[in-house]
Amino acid sequence: MTMAGTSAIRDSLNGSVCLVTGGSRALGAVIAMQLASHGAQVIVNYHESLDAARNVCAAIEAAGGEAYAVQGDVTDAADAERLVAGTVERFGGLDVLVNNVGPYVDIPFLEMEPADFDRILAGNIRATFLLVRAVGRRMKARGSGVIINIAATDAFHRSHSIYGLAKAGVVHLTEALALELAPEARIYALAPDLIAENEDMDPAFVARSVAGTPMGRLVRRDEIAEVVCLLCTPAFAMATGHTIVLDGGRSIPRIVSGS
């Protein structure tokens, strides 16, 4: 990132109020810390992991930032509204929403229990809908705001069962909501491929994935978080509703030589 780019992000985020759902761990925590590093006040939403959320807030504060841990089940309509209303009441507004919650399961459909089907759709699609509904109305009323939904490249292929279906729903919602939120607010989806720091990935699968990625590696959490911050700048003012794919070129269709 150039100094000019860093300055543009800080100009856009400094003093802003940002809510990150599922911000207590993994990618959500990195996004929260990255937003705070550019001067944002960050609300770290968590469902059950209070200690983890407090640790993220402590790390942000130790670096000179400002962060607050707030509990809420974002698949519950009342909790989602409470989370947003409480943030607006306390801070006077909400500038950026990052819908990061997105539980994963890749059990084959024919072996899947209905409870897993419902849970994955709720955590990805219902939560995104509930939060954008609550935040979007307020952003339209005030005339500004940015929403970023974390999708995945699983939305574009059919090998990860209900998770792919759920992320396809997130992409669809992002496009549809862009029409409803415009011109006052902007909304985007980010679709990373396999993330380098993700645990419990089969090494052989990772090796095959890296071999099939033109950039020769997997995307990192900090790279995803930095794109989140970049999308908050005026440079992306005319890109609303689109999905940004972060996969190192892996999804580009190719014909294998000799085939």
Among residues 46, 68, 163, 188, which one is catalytic? 163
Residue 144, judged by CB atoms within 10 A of its CB (0-12, 13-18, 19+), counts as: exposed
Q: Within a 10 A sphere around the Cβ of 65, how many other Cβ atoms? A: 19
Query: Does 163 participate in catalysis according to the annotation?
Result: yes
Helix (H, G, I), strand (E, B) or coil at 212: coil
CA proximity to 190, closest of 218, 230, 159, 163: 230
Contacts 24+ apart (CB under 8 A), 105-113: 105/161, 105/162, 105/163, 106/160, 106/161, 106/162, 106/163, 107/161, 107/162, 108/161, 109/161, 109/162, 112/161, 112/162
For the annotated catalytic residues, the residue numbers are: 163
